[in-house]
Copies of this chain bind each other. A is one copy, B any other.
Amino acid sequence: MDKNDEIFMNRAISLAKKATGKTCPNPLVGAVIVKNVKIIGEGYHKKCGMPHAEVEAINSVKNKDDLKGATIYVNLEPCNHYGKTPPCSLAIEQSGIKRVVIGMLDVNKKASGGAEYLKSRGINVESGILEDKAKKLNEIFIENVANKKPFFIMKAAMLLNGAIAVKGGVSKWITSEKALRFSHKLRGVYDAVGVGINTIIMDDPLLTCRIKGYKQPKRVIFDANLRIQTSATLFSKYSNNIYIVTSRYAEGSKKRVLKAMGINIVECDIQNGEFDPVDLSHKLLENDICSCVIEGGSRTHGYFLKHGLYNKAYLFYAPKICGSYGAFNVVGSDAPSDLNNVNMLNDIHCKNIGKDILIEGYF
């Protein structure tokens, strides 16, 4: 691998990141066009429905003659299908670009094949440059396509022994200001935030992002029996970005009232007395929720862990510890009787956030 290839691929990845949280259900893609070891054009995919990164980069080159013999760096394989825009493979071929350097091949079968097409047209194609980084960049997109489910993030604030609330359910506030701010950023970065109905009843949260410059997340409430009150605080703002996941058997008149308030009612199949995890995943994806931060509570984390739905965890630990009898543990589900049957995380890291500690990891 050429050292320059890495430099330009890194640039493509940096460009792609500019649209973080805005491209769902599309991937993050950046493209850099280079001639004689000099960048002559750049672009990235800004939003679903807008031009792809390769086209943005090609269009950014004023003198189209410069494209002849140039190299394009793109973190994801150029698409090869007519979607909302024509195939990028065709645009590259027609531009006169002679070398295409790719971070990772597309996992989406509908759009992939660009690399093969370009090779068949006599263009020099190399893929797998900074592949791990390219895959991490599009971890959400990969999960959506490969497993047909949103990228689910477990987020919890707890005591050092896993308690998220003491006796009686009191949970305000376990962690300090800085950890709270970090949590709000997560809401602003991922598509949605989700909580179980018990959290709404106990804490009556707003679930918005309270940091300037960040977008508001969609807010998802898991409420099979539609126990939510129309007076809940979260309805006071942005009601059209609220999604209540419920059963088709829940009270119809309440559904109508909520719909009239602008709230989205998502009907999900029930299986063994809980949401069918496959249907739940599909329904969220259908609503353009590609990533969702699950903030709890206990039963909700228990459900997502039990069904192996989580991809990533952000676990905040306050410098506190207390008796567990009568406290609410972060995972409200049955323990296994075999230590091999627990949920495993990889690549865990920790850091101090103010007075608290954050442990991050991937499932």
Contacts and interface: CB of A to CB of B under 8 A. Distances in A.
A229 to B, nearest CB: 25
Interface residues of A, number: 56
Interface of A: 158-163, 166-168, 170-174, 298, 302, 305-306, 313, 315, 317, 319-327, 329-339, 341-346, 348-352, 355, 357, 359, 361
- How many copies of this chain? 2
A163 B343 CA distance: 12
Contact of A357 (B166, B339, B350): B350
Contact of A322 (B161, B167, B327, B331): B331
Contact of A319 (B302, B332, B344, B355): B344
A332 to B, nearest CB: 7
Can you list the 8 inter-chain pairs with the closest CB atoms, starting with the nearest?
Answer: A162-B162, A161-B162, A324-B329, A327-B335, A323-B333, A322-B342, A350-B350, A167-B337
Nearest to A168: B337
16 contacts: A160-B359, A161-B331, A162-B162, A166-B335, A167-B337, A170-B337, A317-B359, A319-B346, A321-B330, A321-B342, A322-B336, A323-B331, A323-B335, A323-B336, A325-B333, A326-B334
Given A351-B350, A352-B348, A359-B357, A320 B337 contact: no
Contacts of A361: 319
A360 to B, nearest CB: 10
Contact of A334 (B323, B330, B332, B350): B323
Contact of A306 (B159, B166, B323): B323
**Which of A332, A335, A349, A350 gathers the greatest number of chain B CB atoms within 10 Å?**
A335
